[in-house]
Amino acid sequence: MITLIIDDNAIARTTLLELTSQIKGVVVACECGNAIDAYNYLQENTVDLLLLDIEMPGMSGLELIKNMGNKKPVIIFTTSKKEYAVEAFELNVADYLVKPITPGRFLQAIEKARQVVESNKEEIRWENDEFIFIRDSNIVRRLKLEEILYAEAMGDYVKLFTAKKFFAVHTSLRSLEERLPASRFLRIHRSYMVAIDKIDTLQDGAVLIGEKSLPVADAYRKALNKRMNVL
């Protein structure tokens, strides 16, 4: 993954360089000491991943993301502040690391990002209410809606899970919700949407699809109970 490190602290940048150097397949293309330099760099260069601090002079990391438009790299925040986590995840970042960052936690975040970057990153092409078309490497494959178990938001992508694999699609969960048939799919959380007929159980604020437990947010619980005809 081609990576850009953005942090106003030189020691923090050195730490991230050391961490990335130990992970095969991660290449740091550039370091930036502020968000403006990073913005200018990204106007002329393409990267897969941003390791991005939040509090920086001039423009914050959050402001940088908001000014980048829809086509953004995968983003992992690296910050000493915990209080921005909610706002950060609302921007669909891949992960949020609080300094000091341990090697194990960093590797976990990198693997989340790698799943998105190395998977299909093309947009969905819709045919009708029964099929979607997914670009898998250089092949466009037809995916039956009935094969989709659930969808998970991750950064600027949505992962569509089937029983055998998942596809990472460059779109938002809100856009996916608007385009999938409401008769078959339902949003249950800001990060999850499920196929109603694939739900096995509903218990303790979560739905179970196979062995996967997915959280149900309070805002969506009433609609879910109604759709499942829960008495």
Could you tell me if 133 and 62 lie in one domain? no
The pLDDT of 178-189, averaged and rounded, is 88
Could you tell me if 91 and 132 lie in one domain? no
Could you tell me if 90 and 134 lie in one domain? no
By the 8 A CB rule, do 51 and 76 touch? yes
Q: Is the peptide bond before 100 cis (omega within 30 degrees of 0)?
A: yes
Could you tell me if 70 and 138 lie in one domain? no
Q: Where is the domain boundary, 118, 137, 157?
A: 118
Could you tell me if 108 and 142 lie in one domain? no
Could you tell me if 13 and 113 lie in one domain? yes
pLDDT for residue 54 is more than 80:
yes
Residue type, 187: R
Give the separation between CA 216 and CA 224, rounded to whole angstroms: 9
- The CATH number covering residue 107 comes to 3.40.50.2300
Could you tell me if 48 and 100 lie in one domain? yes
More confident residue, 34 or 183: 34
Q: Where is the domain boundary, 94, 118, 142?
A: 118
What SS3 state is found at 51?
strand
Q: Where is the domain boundary, 118, 140, 164?
A: 118
- The CATH number covering residue 217 comes to 2.40.50.1020
Residues whose CB falls within 8 Å of the CB of residue 219, separated by 6 or more in sequence, listed in order: none
Residue 123's pLDDT band, with cuts at 50, 70 and 90, is low
Could you tell me if 112 and 130 lie in one domain? no
More confident residue, 89 or 37: 37
State the pairing for strand pair 201-203/150-154: unpaired
Angle between helix axes 103-118 and 10-21 (nearest 10 degrees) is 70
pTM of the model: 0.55
Residue 108's pLDDT band, with cuts at 50, 70 and 90, is very high
More confident residue, 117 or 146: 146
pLDDT of the residue at 120: 40
Strand partners, 159: 152, 168
As a whole-number percent, the residues of the chain with pLDDT over 70 amount to 89
pLDDT for residue 219 is more than 50:
yes
Could you tell me if 9 and 111 lie in one domain? yes
Could you tell me if 87 and 152 lie in one domain? no
pLDDT for residue 36 is more than 70:
yes
Per residue in 189-216, pLDDT tens? 999 999 999 999 988 789 999 889 999 9
DSSP class of 63: H
Could you tell me if 132 and 97 lie in one domain? no
pLDDT of the residue at 48: 87
Give the separation between CA 142 and CA 140, rounded to whole angstroms: 7
Per residue in 12-33, pLDDT tens? 999 999 999 999 889 999 999 9
Residue-range definition of the domain harbouring residue 222: 125-227
Number of folded domains in the chain?
Answer: 2
Q: Which helix (H) or strand (E) holds 153?
A: strand 150-154
- Strand order of the β-sheet with 49-52 is 27-32, 2-6, 49-52, 74-79, 95-98
Residue 137's pLDDT band, with cuts at 50, 70 and 90, is low
Could you tell me if 64 and 102 lie in one domain? yes
